[in-house]
Amino acid sequence: MTILSCKKSTETTVTEEHNEDEKGTVELTPAQVKASQIVFGNFERKNLSEVITANGYTKLPPQNQADVSVFMAGIIKSIAVIEGQYVKKGQSLATFQSVEFNNLRLQKAKLMDELQQAKASMGYLSLDFLRQKELSDENVTAKKTFQKTSADFEAIKSKVENLVHQIQILEQTIALSSKGNGTTIAIIAPISGYITAVEVKIGSSVSPNTSLFSIVDNSKMHVDLLVYEKDLFKIKIGQDVRFVLTNQGNQEILGKIFSIGKAFQNETKSVAVHADINNSKAGLISGMYVSALIDIGKNDVNTLPIDAVIKAEGKEFIFIQEEHEEVGKGQAHKENHDEGVHFKRIEVKTGTTQLGFVQVTPLQDIVVGAKIVIKGSYYLQSSIANAEGGDEHAH
């Protein structure tokens, strides 16, 4: 049960003046405070006026996203990962078998045979080339014969070089695909990150250029904000930005502008402004909607969360927790005061509201470091209203 400090004692008559002074106080038991989920805080200095509001989305650069595919057709034999799993660059995601892969090995063997034959022919032609050159120099044989031998030697030499190059390419392809002489080919993660999609099952037939896995690395997450033409001249690289994720309890994220677009986005007459995220990127995924404030000046004011301020009797108020010794002055039943938590209603004037915070100016002095109720003010106000209604009924 809520106990009002303005409640009349059976032994003491409370004057109208005293009642007016105390009508904005309320006492709750510790259990009531816990049950009503009251949260305490204090003023925060924020710039709410010299700002530009913008909306946008979290975004990843292309180099931090990967669609994994294969370069030849085959059949999936095993899968080593699931969606949401973190993988490192070079880690095996799955294996598959491919007839085309076996053909690569056969092709390599065939080219190796051709290379051996070409090298043998090149050795013979090399000797013949030297002999014909010597004879040509002595004018013993016609130069026409030497020219033919020289052309044959250059042709076989070029063929050997071409075969060596082809074999090197095949060896690299085979080495990237499979270790040793195994019959299965590993599908490797090209970047480190989290698996966001697995598009295959064991036994699936796969073909080149079809995405099998998707990987994202959220460590390089940034925010793209759309700024309209009228505000664009106020935006500069290095300006501070505050974001709020509307689907995460208005969690505030800090950032800084690192790039400004040079073209309008579609037909919106807005330009994309890119901002890094300074504090933790944990829990962020690409495509999240954000609201933002871009600081274009320095005009910090005292602010509180919007829920800290309540309206009553045509005025605006906040609640602070009172110290017990202050509450006990001039009140009956002092022995009970230590059992409860005392709150006092303070009239305030509000100003600019942005991103869940509002500028607040108290109309009376507040003790430095006072515990301000930033969540649960509506419950306290309801307690006052209900108790006052009860008193009136009692009259």
CB 256 within 8 A of CB 278: yes
CA separation, residue 258 to residues 10, 55, 223, 279 (Å): 68, 17, 10, 15
Can you tell me the mean pLDDT for 261-283? 82
Q: pLDDT tens digits, residue range 18-45?
A: 333 456 788 888 888 888 888 888 888 8
Could you tell me the maximum CA-CA distance found in the chain, to the nearest angstrom? 145
Please, which pLDDT band fits residue 17 given cuts at 50, 70 and 90? very low
Tokens encoding 138? 């002595």
Mean of all residue pLDDT scores within the chain? 77
Q: Which domains does the chain have, with CATH numbers?
A: 16-46+302-394 (2.40.420.20), 51-60+221-296 (2.40.30.170), 63-218 (2.40.50.100)
- How far is it, in rounded angstroms, from Cα 124 to Cα 160? 14
At 236, is the secondary structure helix, strand, or coil?
A: coil
Confidence (pLDDT) at 139: 63
At 346, is the secondary structure helix, strand, or coil?
A: strand
Q: Is the pLDDT of residue 173 over 60?
A: yes
Q: Is the pLDDT of residue 191 over 90?
A: yes
Q: pLDDT tens digits, residue range 44-70?
A: 888 777 788 889 999 998 999 999 988
Confidence (pLDDT) at 44: 85
- How far is it, in rounded angstroms, from Cα 214 to Cα 367? 56
Please, which pLDDT band fits residue 158 given cuts at 50, 70 and 90? confident
Q: What percent of the chain has pLDDT over 70?
A: 73
Beta bridge partners of 188: 92
More confident residue, 95 or 151: 95
In 292-368, which ranges are continuous DSSP H helix?
324-327
Confidence (pLDDT) at 159: 77
Q: Is the pLDDT of residue 129 over 50?
A: yes
